[in-house]
Amino acid sequence: MTEAAAELPQAPEEARAVFGEYFPEAVRYAELLADAGVKRGLIGPREVPRLWERHLLNCAVLSEVVPEGVTVCDVGSGAGLPGIPLALVRPDLKITLLEPLLRRTNFLQEVVELLGLDHVTVVRGRAEEMLGKVQPVHVVTARAVAPLDRLAGWGVPLLRPYGEMLALKGDTAEEELLGARSALSKLGVVNTSVLHVGEGIVDPLSTVVRVEVGESPGGVRFAAKRAKAARTSRTRRRR
């Protein structure tokens, strides 16, 4: 065991309640993060003493706002946050962990296999290069990937019509939302809100920015692409 792994505290009582029958898998995941995760530079050693509260539980409570039985893409999953805790509490979801770095996708694949998470798939790639390569999803999740306007530019085009992006954010959530307003409306976003989840489980509560799209996720950019494709095919037909 590494020095960092020895710092992993016992799981708090809340974790038993939140992870239920998957509590042993959650403990295994915490151990993997604290050991291999730190050794391979996927998580800082200083995070180990607060892995439960700040990472596993903080992410698992996102489940409160994810609809039942939907498809989810966790953009920039890193070492599996929030995707893995969400998968542990929600076997009804079909989750794709999207991550560009090989070192991280290798770790994610190992975790998925070790924990027997048959409803989770690991895909290596950058979100903005995934259009047409992954099936559009009902929900995009993300934590600590990019400022909201950039994140929305990557995540919203991956959504199905009437889908939503749920971004775990810190204290700057309202501010980021305000600053991203124009970018969001160009992407076809029809509704935004800031939610606080995890009452009785995490303190402070986890802050989630919810961004909902209408019929046309990707908005203007998609519309422009479609118009260009139509023009090209008309030109080809005329030749």
The one-letter amino acid code at 80 reads G
Judged by CB, which is closer to ligand SAM: 127, or 202? 127
The CA-based angle 37-54-130, given to 5 degrees, is 60
The CA distance from 140 to 162, in Å, is 12
* Binding status of residue 81 toward ligand SAM by CB under 6 A: yes
Residue 143 assigned as binding residue? yes
Q: Token pair for residue 199?
A: 């009452």
Per-residue contact track with ligand SAM, 89 to 128, x per CB under 6 A? ---------xxxx--x---------------------xxx
The CA distance from 151 to 167, in Å, is 9
Contact in structure between 180 and 149 (CB atoms under 8 Å): yes
* Binding status of residue 25 toward ligand SAM by CB under 6 A: no
* Binding status of residue 173 toward ligand SAM by CB under 6 A: no
* Binding status of residue 145 toward ligand SAM by CB under 6 A: yes
Judged by CB, which is closer to ligand SAM: 79, or 189? 79
Judged by CB, which is closer to ligand SAM: 68, or 154? 154
Q: Which residues are CB-neighbours of 139 under 8 A, at least 6 positions away?
A: 66, 67, 70, 71, 72, 73, 159, 163, 164, 165, 166
Binding window for ligand SAM (CB under 6 A); candidates: 1-9, 21-29, 69-77, 106-114:
69-77
Contacting residues toward ligand SAM, per CB under 6 A: 75-79, 81, 98-101, 104, 126-128, 143-145, 154
